[in-house]
Chain A
């Protein structure tokens, strides 16, 4: 089954404790992206990746890191989480321009992160 898998689904942590949210897709998509969703602000892009070893900042990259060492994986790293990073996070993927720019995004089920 074609899917984007995020782990964990729920995470409660304390300020400053490094964490990683994993994202994996099995559709051989080049493009992957991370979003956060907050009430009243909607979905905002954190980072995106056009292909292996190619990543770039989205609209709200501060406090986050990503890596793309393999095509299928795109982990989101919070080196020193703070309470303002409490949010619902989504990973998404799609074929890139070369195949079809007008392909819809495929989303994971989300990770609800609480930083106390």
Chain B
């Protein structure tokens, strides 16, 4: 069974940093592109970042470019999202997903507030 489990969400002050992790199992992790998505409270879905299977291609949404960094460790079957200079508008549930969302993880909540 394909499983994605996010962790690392927390309450953080504006300007702070946080690192999210996504542990993958049940599939050949090193052959898949991975994505981060997010959903602010009561709002729709938003794509955050993409990283290709070998990390050779990386893309970011304009809203996070320069502040967030995506990475992966294929040996550990893990995906990461380093989030710096966090803002209130980054408050959301963050989901990792295999490729275009097949499947999504259960999500981890990031709250940016003083």
Q: Do A and B come from one complex?
A: no
- Interface residues of chain A, those whose CB is within 8 Å of chain B, are none
- Interface residues of chain B, those whose CB is within 8 Å of chain A, are none
